[in-house]
């Protein structure tokens, strides 16, 4: 369907008639300061040609056609397509993933096989990112220090690929949780309010970095950033040793208290992941808490068409100029021939 973005422009169509009706004609000049011997003869020829052009019906029709096409171009015609649904609201979501040495611990399973914590985290986070259609997502990786791996972007495939390339100990063996929160907050602070979300995953406690985690969480709270924290690691189990049955806790280094405080302070939630299924369910829970979008907004794509009438008007103007020169030349030749005959 063709529509006009500025339909009021068509009110300009009678403008030439109004100008002719109410504006005074330009007063005839004296012929200019430059005088030549054959000026009077040339003036007669030009007057005759101009008079013939003014009385030409086809020139009048072409002039009106050009004016109509220019007004049509000014009205901005556009071809409007079918309605396309778009997400009503997206989130600005940063993910912070721990790459400290303990993430190499093989106390989780993936597909029935023992796997490192990082391998299981990658799989669950990848599925989570794949579902976040319409969100801007970014990635922060941290161990001895935190660094931005991917800025906020709609290109979720690029973020998933960068996450897949992450390796344990990439920047050290320790855990800088506070710095990770601070870097994510810096990237989220300029985004739209009520859509700033950080999902932080770790299997340890803050033992490195410049900023204290609770101080960083307080800063995030001021900026309106909700933080969802996830603690990863298997539960304590009893094992047989030479000293008898003993309790072994692979997650004894996890600081759950701080993670709960961070989440509670910023309006988020703390989750505990002890296996692959639990971690996947946590990400689905975050999906429910932070839905991708509400009711979709429908828009109609538009293709501009104004250049067509504008281009045709330009072509007709050039044609009119060429025809005017040809007609003027013919009249001038006829005038000269009559003068020579006389």
Spatial separation of the C-alpha atoms in residues 265 and 270, rounded to whole Å:
11
Report domain extents, the chain: 2-22+38-82+301-341, 87-296
- Cα–Cα separations (whole angstroms), residue 183 to 18, 138, 179: 65, 11, 6
Q: How many CB atoms lie within 10 A of CB 316?
A: 16
* CB 260 within 8 Å of CB 232: no
pLDDT at 38: 47
Report CA Rg, the chain.
38
Q: What is the pLDDT along the chain (342 residues), one digit of tens a residue?
A: 888 989 999 999 999 888 888 888 766 555 555 554 544 444 444 444 445 544 468 888 888 999 999 999 999 999 988 877 655 556 889 999 999 888 888 877 777 778 888 998 998 899 899 888 878 899 999 999 999 999 999 899 999 999 999 998 777 889 999 999 999 999 998 887 778 999 999 988 899 989 999 999 999 999 999 999 999 887 765 555 555 565 556 677 888 999 999 999 999 999 988 878 888 888 888 888 887 655 556 677 888 999 999 999 999 999 888 877 776 665 555 555 555 555
Residue 326 burial (10 A CB sphere; 0-12, 13-18, 19+): exposed
DSSP 23: S
Give the C-alpha separation, 74 to 62, whole Å: 18
Q: Answer yes or no: are the C-beta atoms of 141 and 149 closer than 8 Å.
A: yes
Question: Which position has the token pair 């220019």?
Answer: 70
3-state secondary structure 57-124: HHHHHHHHHHHHHHHHHHCCEEEECCCEEECCCCCEEEEEEECCHHHHCCCEEECCEEECHHHHHHHH
Q: What confidence score (pLDDT) does residue 150 get? A: 93
The CATH classification number of 87-296 equals 3.40.50.410
């Amino acid at each position: 369907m063709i529509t006009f973005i500025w339909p009021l422009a068509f009110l300009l169509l009678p403008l030439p008639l109004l100008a002719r009706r109410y504006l005074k004609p330009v007063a005839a000049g004296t012929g200019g300061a430059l005088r030549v011997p054959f000026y009077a003869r040339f003036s007669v020829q030009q007057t005759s040609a101009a008079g013939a052009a003014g009385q030409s019906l086809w020139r009048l029709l072409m002039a009106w056609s050009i004016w109509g096409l220019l007004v049509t171009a000014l009205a901005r015609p556009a071809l409007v397509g079918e309605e396309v649904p778009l997400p009503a609201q997206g989130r600005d979501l940063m993910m912070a993933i721990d790459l400290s040495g303990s993430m190499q611990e093989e106390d989780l399973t993936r597909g029935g096989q023992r796997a490192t914590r990082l391998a299981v985290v990658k799989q669950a986070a990848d599925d989570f990112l794949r579902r976040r259609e319409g969100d801007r997502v970014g990635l922060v990786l941290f161990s001895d220090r935190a660094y931005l791996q991917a800025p906020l972007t709609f290109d979720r495939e690029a973020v998933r690929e960068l996450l897949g390339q992450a390796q344990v100990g990439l920047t050290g063996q320790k855990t800088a949780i506070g710095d990770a929160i601070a870097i994510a907050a810096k990237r989220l602070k300029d985004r739209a309010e009520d859509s700033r979300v950080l999902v932080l995953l770790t299997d340890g406690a803050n033992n490195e970095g410049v900023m204290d985690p609770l101080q960083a969480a307080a800063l995030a709270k001021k900026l309106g950033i909700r933080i969802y924290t996830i603690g990863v690691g298997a539960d304590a189990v009893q094992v047989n040793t030479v000293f008898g049955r003993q309790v072994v806790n692979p997650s004894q280094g996890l600081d759950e208290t701080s993670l709960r405080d961070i989440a509670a302070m910023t309006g988020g939630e703390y989750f505990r992941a002890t296996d692959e299924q639990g971690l996947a369910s946590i990400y689905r829970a975050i999906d429910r808490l932070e839905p991708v979008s509400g009711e979709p907004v429908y828009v109609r794509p538009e293709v501009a068409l104004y250049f067509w009438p504008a281009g045709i008007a330009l072509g007709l103007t050039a044609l009119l100029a060429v025809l005017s020169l040809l007609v003027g030349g013919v009249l001038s030749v006829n005038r000269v021939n009559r003068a020579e005959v006389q």
